[in-house]
A and B are shown apart, each in its own frame.
Chain A
């Protein structure tokens, strides 16, 4: 149980392209999903919290116009990296949480984004 699917797993594209990443909870409903960014050999950095039916909450220093988040249903959140540039290249990981209280976030397998 508690499976989170992230797609695509890898994207290579030209500078200036916008890239959409999907995060789905396959066997549970996730009122809250999270988007993280991870640089090589470093920890996960929270970018934003995605709430179903409302606007995402972004962490300090994360540009909301750059990283568009949509959480249209209880099983799907999307992250769009707009007009991506080489400095946006990174490993993006989503997680989903079922219900309230002290239950763990479950993570997708990440998306490796490479901007040429």
Chain B
């Protein structure tokens, strides 16, 4: 289930199930979006990106969906594994710059 902590929402899923992590972005003009995975004590690791002219992109075990109408981004992880446990951040590229705005993040906990 999903719960909201003091700062970081947490999603708990059973190993082998699919995970869906959601993100609302702020700027309707943003044209590039990225998902990152951050493990404890490390920097964010690139997972997958998508441009605004697409609404879906698939990688290995991951799919990103973009809904520009409601400014919503989701990351789907198939067959979630213990190694997927981490904090996941979405980021949107600020139009006209190379700067990112990061979402608040979601902690994914994979239960054995």
**Which of B31, B46, B49, B98 gathers most chain A CB within 10 Å?**
B98
Pick out which of these stretches binds chain B: A12-20, A43-51, A64-72, A77-85.
A43-51
Dominant secondary structure at the B interface: loop
Is B98 within 8 A of A32, CB to CB?
yes
Is A93 within 8 A of B6, CB to CB?
no
Chain A residues 67-110 with CB under 8 Å of chain B are 93, 95, 97, 100, 102, 104-110
Rounded to whole angstroms, the CA-CA distance of A34 and B97 in the bound complex is 12
B8, B36, B41, B100: the one within 8 Å of A112 (CB): B41
Closest to A36 in B: B102
Residues of B within 8 A of A112 (CB): 41
Is B31 within 8 A of A102, CB to CB?
yes
Q: Closest CB of chain A to B108's CB: distance in Å?
A: 14
Rounded to whole angstroms, the CA-CA distance of A97 and B34 in the bound complex is 13
Rounded to whole angstroms, the CA-CA distance of A112 and B41 in the bound complex is 8
Binding site for A on B (CB under 8 A): 5-8, 31-32, 34, 36, 41-46, 49, 51, 89, 93, 97-100, 102-105
